[in-house]
Structure 1
């Protein structure tokens, strides 16, 4: 009897623990209508944030919040012309969705969360919506270029003929894996294979790491994309997060570990310029450290969302926790 009571109490305490970080996240960043606010960027919203929060909600079995998030996203950001989503929403602009382009990381996260929701709550409409998005992604953003199957960062503006600009942090390997397992379409396995090949060849400067944005030329050569600073920074930090989430033993994590091991945990630079080898004058904190810990296999458990965490830092903490939970399963 005591054992049963102890087990019941453990399960109950675990449930409360799981709710803690998510409740903090919701209270800080999720509006009552389901819009996720980027507190570090003027309280605009992105499909990235909507997808992040939808993934958190389904993973923590919060269907009420999930439905609010999905309804706002689908109603406000859906581009009916191509089936994808306007990537940025500014509530105080004359046209809140002035840029009609999408961002494939947001599209992927939304579709992945919907697929999880269909499986978890046995609601086919979620799965249908997920399939519609993934078909649109394949149609409008996946191309064969320089012998690789690649997913562009958006439907427009990234294929420059002689080169394509890629954002390797948009290679969301666990989502691609989920779509491959669900649909059995070859395109997802090709993206998994070629995405890893590409990341394995992205490494510059003393850090030997990919930059936030990478140019892939028609001859297959790569270099940091000229339109952005040549930094391994706040975008690229998601690369090891998604690599480990999909394959906890991925050899592609080795360069990240090697670079970060040059520094103590508390003194690890937040970014590095791979051309000048200059490092940031401030260290990693918050969500960046959560990704670092995950990469090294440090099980930190439920995160604490503190006042110093902006939307992005809190999101990285939450995503690292979700990845950790999936790896332990």
Structure 2
């Protein structure tokens, strides 16, 4: 099959799904030859001259050495992010989502398309308009490569929708924007629930996180507020505006009074947040992202002001010990060994944003030093790309969650 044939099949699939969702205005944005001027995708650039794969702006990819090293270490030739630390050489949908986001930040359209195509073909049954991606793919015991767990992961899905929306805007590709709108809408339809006391709330996945009629298991690291708000603003008909209040509550109310974010939290109707019996209040590899997302919020945003005093326990710990803990009991503040390079990188934006610039620089230096001694694997590298990339001003998030990249202004003048 030629690339043109593949593109035509993809557009037909998008059209069918858009029609099924009642998204008439988006159809003209995806289908070439229709009146795009009369039917604009919400949030898409008004460019009636382009259709299908628009020509990207004449601007080369950003020189971002850390992103280049990550691609060499973790990106396969066919477009999947490989976790080499696991025996099944797995790929998780979260890794694909982050790679899409980094590709947008780096103005790396070729990598974006490669990662997107692999994600669609291997995690979404060939059609992201009809299926949310499975969260886990890898090598089976018999040596075959396949989906290992078909349950989607909502944090990955929302970053995919975000990356598609921002790619559509920055690269002027309406197909990306329309696809992002569909993914955003499907997340609300399949991965949320109305929880008494919280409202419409993002669940970690469609299945497995509502163990009793009055009980839900939630993950505060799954709701970066800049992404929640951007999806609500970029796709106003998707239902994401309903998730803003509940997402902020997940972050602020699930954290015990000592100021550490937990891995997981239980929410019981009529009683509120409780300690998760499986992780027993521990904060570790999931929770480290809560501080990362909070630190990268725009300082003039309501969300940043709401979260500024939420994580005092972690900030004090880093100041006292010179590094964030790999594992901490959020109930009493007792901690085990220091976290690695990615953990330090993840704390840099929050330390910088609250004004502790010296400690932010120290954590950035620690992250680079540790990584030079022993390069991080997939997850540590992701944390560093976010944390240190933000520290190097390679990107910012506006108060409404819009992705701000320096290359946008440069390319716009060419």
Q: Which of 235, 245, 269 is matched with 1:183 structurally?
A: 235
CA deviation string 1:47-83 (max 9, x = no partner): 0000011100111100111111000001000056962
Task: Using the TM superposition, give the Cα deviation of residue 204 of structure 1 relative to its aligned residue in structure 2, in angstroms.
Answer: 2.5
Structure 2: distance between partners of 1:84 and 1:169: 20
User: Deviations 1:235-276 (Å, cap 9, x if unpaired)?
Assistant: 011112222333434331423244332344634322212346
2:380 paired residue number: 313
Given the superposition, is the C-alpha separation of residues 218 and 129 from structure 1 closer, same or farther in structure 2, using an over 3 Å criterion?
same
Alignment of 1:259-274 (within 5 A): 259-262=314-317, 263-264=319-320, 266-274=322-330
Which of residues 130, 133, 136 is equivalent to 1:85? 133
Structure 1 residue aligned with 2:263:
212
Retained in 2: the 8 A contact 1:56–1:322? no
Which residue matches 2:225? 173
Which of 94, 98, 107 aligns to 2:148? It is 98
Change in CA separation of 1:124 and 1:267 when aligned onto 2, cut-off 3 Å: closer
Structure 1 residues 311 and 186: alpha-carbon distance in aligned structure 2, compared to 1, 3 A threshold: closer
Change (3 A) 1:40 1:229: farther
SS in 1 for 2:216: strand
Cα separation, 2, equivalents of 1:283 and 1:133: 37
Distance 1:16 1:60 in 2: 6
Match among 143, 164, 174 for residue 124 of structure 1: 174
**Residue 72 in structure 1 maps to residue 118 in structure 2:** yes
Query: CA 1:150–1:126 in 2, change beyond 3 Å: closer, same or farther?
Result: same
Q: 3-state DSSP class of the match of 2:309?
A: helix
2:396 corresponds to which residue? 326
TM-score, length-normalised on structure 1? 0.86
Q: 1:268 to 1:238 in 2, by over 3 A?
A: closer
Could you tell me whether the CA contact under 8 Å between 2:262 and 2:330 is conserved in 1?
yes
SS in structure 1 of the partner of residue 193 of structure 2: strand
CA distance in 2, matches of 1:232, 1:250: 23
Per the TM alignment, residue 220 of structure 1 is displaced from its structure 2 partner at its CA by 4.2
What number of residue pairs does the alignment pair up?
313
Matched, 1:221 2:272: yes
Contact in 2 for aligned 1:244/1:250 (Cα 8 Å): no
CA distance in 1, matches of 2:61, 2:179: 31
Instruction: Calculate the TM-score normalised by the size of structure 2.
Output: 0.69
CA RMSD of aligned residues (A): 2.6
Secondary structure (helix, strand or coil) at the match of 1:31 reads: coil
In the alignment, what sits opposite 1:7? none
Larger radius of gyration: 2
Instruction: Mark the CA change 1:132 to 1:29 in structure 2 (over 3 Å): closer, same or farther.
Output: same
Long gaps (5+) in structure 2: 1-59, 399-403, 405-414
**SS at 1:89 equivalent:** strand
Q: Is the 8 A contact 2:184 2:235 kept in 1?
A: no
SS in 2 for 1:83: coil
CA gap of 1:186–1:53, structure 2 versus 1, over 3 A, is closer
1:117/1:123 contact within 8 Å kept: yes
> Which of 342, 348, 356 does residue 293 from structure 1 map onto?
348
For structure 1, the residue ranges without an aligned partner over 5 or more in a row are 1-14
Does residue 23 (structure 1) correspond to residue 68 (structure 2)? The answer is: yes
Shift of 1:210: 3.0
